[in-house]
Homo-oligomer: A and B are copies of this chain.
């Protein structure tokens, strides 16, 4: 028997360690991103875990011919670290020798090593395994990781427990037709549209819970803002006094995440030229007031009194930004008929709910609200909606056995990322998007 001792052999330096190795000869690995031949020398850009490093090849210093290097080869270089102001990272790596670990079998079918991958969105997605190697493409997902880390760090600090709930379910939480069917050992099952029922149940256990995981919507929309599978950031909290507590919590979470990005994703934010939104405070407005405001300001007729048209969301965001400077706006008190059966109805107006959406730069990124915690109240609402209570036995078990007042929200990670980075299509904020026409890669 051998013994594995959890030690990594460190014969190479990390890209973060260049500063402390100035003037020294180091070994470092990466993939060759781009070779730029100049007069008498060449720049060799090396893609490492996070940064693209600038190497300099000169025939005088290197013990190998430049022709040995191919773009997308995986290599270990030996090089001297030279401080160089003009280099983006502040250092050049003067190549001495190279060990080639692997070589591509063909050139990339699409040019990926320019500033921008200059192609259609369809091609960008078709060739995802290679187009994601583009520096700015991968920056999107490093920032997305930062958003998730920021959210998670905040929620844990606020005593939320992270949970994992099933994605194969016997009944959908959101209702409607937009649910995927599944053959489950001869029975019909569904893919979860949200972790709604489960996170509510877990409020009875841990009081505050969150989950960041996939949800599935069989919507046939083929728009720039819909995905059929997306990552939902869900939290749910007990002992709220009203859904305003949920909005306060979301505001603090967003603010905390923006600070996290500032501290931890500065290189990516700079490369993508992102300006982070102000999140110290977010205005809120009632749904019907917002509808009227938009109608008055833009001289539009209200067609749908129960929901926004996409155009109205954009116009509202514009109005709010003009008036308050905020790129976010909470819209509250949505009509009951547009909200699911577990939404708590307003005590003031029977047709409204204690709920909200959050719009960010013209697009809804969050839906949330207070839920019904009282069994009699939930049973009565289901009766009014002609729902079969027997199908929701285990969900209603929690109400019957006692639940604190509670509420929560779901935030679409890809939508939020796309809005934050100014991407015109939500697919661009998803590594491998699923839409009505796309199952690959």
Contact = CB atoms under 8 A, between A and B. Distances in A.
Q: Which secondary structure characterizes the binding site on chain A? A: mixed
Contacts of A7: 248, 252
A440 B162 contact: no
A128 B401 CA distance: 12
Interface stretch (A54-62, A87-95, A197-205): A197-205
A72 interface: yes
A301 interface: no
Interface residues of A, number: 130
Contacts of A167: 167, 214, 216, 229
Interface in A234-260: 238-239, 241, 244-245, 247-249, 251-252, 254-255
A439 B31 contact: no
B8 A245 contact: yes
Identical subunits present: 2
Nearest to A247: B4
Contacts of A285: 1-2
A159 B15 CA distance: 11
A35 interface: no
Given A1-B283, A49-B159, A252 B191 contact: no
Interface string A57-96: 0000000000000101110100000000000000000000
B49 A5 contact: no
A106 B189 CA distance: 30
A373 B101 CA distance: 10
Given A104-B400, A130-B398, A191 B182 contact: yes
B130 A2 contact: no
A238 to B, nearest CB: 7
A339 interface: no
Given A164-B431, A168-B434, A191-B182, A4 B201 contact: no
Interface in A197-241: 197-198, 201-202, 204-208, 213-214, 216, 218, 220, 228-229, 231, 238-239, 241
B48 A198 contact: no
Interface stretch (A36-44, A138-146, A419-427): A138-146
B213 A214 contact: yes
A105 B399 CA distance: 8
A164 B214 CA distance: 8
B181 A182 contact: yes
A295 interface: no
Interface in A400-436: 400-405, 413, 431-434, 436
19 contacts: A2-B285, A3-B282, A4-B283, A6-B254, A8-B249, A8-B252, A72-B401, A74-B404, A101-B239, A104-B400, A104-B401, A109-B397, A132-B204, A141-B205, A144-B164, A149-B156, A168-B228, A169-B439, A202-B431
Nearest 7 A-B pairs (CB), nearest first? A104-B402, A394-B441, A72-B402, A6-B252, A74-B404, A6-B251, A105-B375
Given A130-B398, A167-B216, 11 more contacts: A3-B284, A70-B402, A74-B238, A74-B404, A102-B402, A104-B401, A128-B201, A130-B401, A132-B201, A167-B167, A395-B441
